[in-house]
Structure 1
Amino acid sequence: MTTASLDLASLLCSRLCHDLLSPVGALTNGLELLAEEKDPAMREKCFELLEQSARISADKLRFFRLAFGAAGGFGDMVPLSEAQSLVNALVGNNGRIAVNWVLGSDSLPKSAIKILLNLALIGIDALVRGGQLDIGAEAGAEATEIVVRASGTRVAFDPTIGEALEGRQGEGGLSSKTAPAAMVQLIAAQLGGGVQVHATAEALVLGAVLPAAA
């Protein structure tokens, strides 16, 4: 494993920890409140907080297991319904983003699923004020195509993420913010494919084209 690979793995772990910190912290707070609270109504609210935080933590772990990890529970092909379920759960915890799916295949290679999930994650992160996430994927005879479109009011897209998707690093180098994008570019390049990025104030469009054998 190269130093660059170790750095990328470390930054992906940092991103995972960052995203889990909030719901796990809420679990801790809920348990502390439950230990001190005697009022039945307030105890019921504590249980609701614990249930919500546990669900969000589990949803994020399932998402990152396939998006970042080896996901050994899956074969070479992964059902698109699995990716759809993971993204829908992640967005469902947000409450301000609507998701629309257009899927032309039942399954994709694991590498393509990883690209889809990470592009979806980048799109979700860009919709800090809410909006719509459109996701399409299709495996054709010659190529697998994936597209993610995030649209809403004042889409927040960091240019360094776009640079990482295109295989470039800014002055700050790789970071936990750009690590998912760097992984997308690395996977696509290794498979002989490519990634496209187009960003405006109202919409962010991310696409990947991979050889059919990928």
Structure 2
Amino acid sequence: MTISPVDFASLLCSRLCHDLLSPVGALNNGLELLNDETDPEMRARCIELLNDSARVSANKLKFFRLAFGAAGGFGERVDVREARQAIEGLLGDNKRLQLHWMVEEAELPKAAVKVLLNLAMIAGDTLVRGGTVTIGVEEGTEATEIVLRAEGPRIVLDPELRTILTEGAADTAAVTPRASAAFLVHTLVAEAGGSVVVSEDAGDALMFGAALPHR
């Protein structure tokens, strides 16, 4: 089943607003504290918190612009450095997450970059106690293959996300904003005639794979 463009845009907007609510709210709270604070040391602390919240907000916006929007231009391929910077910014704001980047290609098809970004976000979210996200990509003559490994002391993947990633949504009305990234991944890969696989829960590691055939 497919979902209407309007409904899908609403899901993405809801996800974006949810993820930005915390850092933007922190900015607002910090400004209020700064207006009322007179102690120099506390004002310096408020400014530090404001800088942190502003950086997190900017990193999230840069990531969402490339993962969900039209960033990277209107060509068919995207500079991989943009994808790496976006993922580093998103995961780097969580001090408990580390990124291992194993991508040698200089450019990738735009659809593959969006799949890569959204899978990276999902993989990072599964590491509830921190860990490492390892990303590898191989662009062959017939397909672009993407592999991510999430490794950490505790991994939690919502069954809804697993099902949507690998099978799509049987009832699109039940797709939640939290699952919008998974739905986008499945849709992009399915449109290319490919597939998404997610390994079984192995306790401390989880693998995500996507193959996008070239047309």
- TM-score, with structure 1 as normaliser: 0.93
Measured in 2, the distance between the counterparts of 1:184 and 1:92 equals 22
SS of the equivalent of 1:94 reads coil
Question: For the Cα contact (< 8 Å) 1:99–1:134, is it kept in 2?
Answer: yes
**Once the 2 structures are TM-superposed, how far is the Cα of residue 104 of structure 1 from its aligned partner?**
3.0
Cα deviation for residue 80 of structure 1 reads 1.2
Map 1:88-103; keep pairs closer than 5 Å: 88-103=88-103
**Aligned equivalents of 1:90 and 1:3: distance in 2?**
27
Distance in 2 between residues matched to 1:69 and 1:15, nearest whole Å: 13
Query: Does the CA contact (< 8 Å) of 1:160 and 1:170 recur in 2?
Result: no
5+ long unaligned stretches in structure 2: none
- Cα deviations by residue, 1:85-138 (Å, 9 ceiling, x for unpaired): 111111111000111011131110111100000000000110111011000112
SS in 2 for 1:177: helix
Deviation at 1:212, TM superposition (A): 2.9
CA distance in 2, matches of 1:99, 1:184: 20
How many residues are treated as equivalent by the alignment? 212
Q: Distance in 2 between matches of 1:150 and 1:3?
A: 29
User: Helix, strand or coil: the match of 2:174?
Assistant: coil
CA distance in 1, matches of 2:86, 2:16: 15
Partner of 1:206: 208
Quote the offset at 1:43 in angstroms: 0.8
Identify which range, 94-103 or 163-172, moves more after superposition.
163-172
Letter in 2 for 1:148: L
Gaps of 5+ in 1: none
**Does the residue aligned with 2:177 lie in a helix, a strand or coil?**
coil
Paired residue for 2:168? 168
Given that 2:27 and 2:54 are in contact with CA atoms closer than 8 Å, whether structure 1 keeps it comes out as yes
The residue type paired with residue 88 of structure 1 is E
- Residue identity in the other structure for 2:181: P
C-alpha distance in structure 2 between counterparts of 1:194 and 1:91, whole Å: 25
Q: Which residue of 2 aligns with 1:190?
A: 191
Question: Which deviates more from structure 2 when the two are superposed, residues 27-36 or residues 96-105?
Answer: 96-105
The answer to whether the 8 A contact 2:30-2:49 is kept is yes
Code of the aligned partner of 1:174: V
Deviation per CA, 1:25-77, whole angstroms, max 9, x where unpaired?
00001100110011111111111111110110000000000111122646321
Q: How does 1:1-214 map to 2 (within 5 A)?
A: 4-71=4-71, 73=73, 75-169=75-169, 173-200=174-201, 201-213=203-215
The 1-side partners of 2:178 and 2:109 are apart by 25
The amino acid that maps onto 1:9 is A
Cα 1:73/1:143, change in 2 over 3 Å:
closer
1:7 Cα deviation after fit: 1.8
Identity value in percent: 52
Secondary structure of the residue that 2:187 maps to in structure 1? Answer: helix
- How far the C-alpha of 1:3 sits from its partner, in A, is 5.3
Root-mean-square deviation over aligned CA pairs: 1.7
Offset of residue 168 of structure 1: 3.5
Residues of 1 paired with 2:187 and 2:56: CA distance? Answer: 29
User: How far, CA to CA, are the matches of 1:149 and 1:166 in structure 2?
Assistant: 16
Kept in 1, the 8 Å contact 2:72–2:78? The answer is no
CA distance in 1, matches of 2:50, 2:178: 28
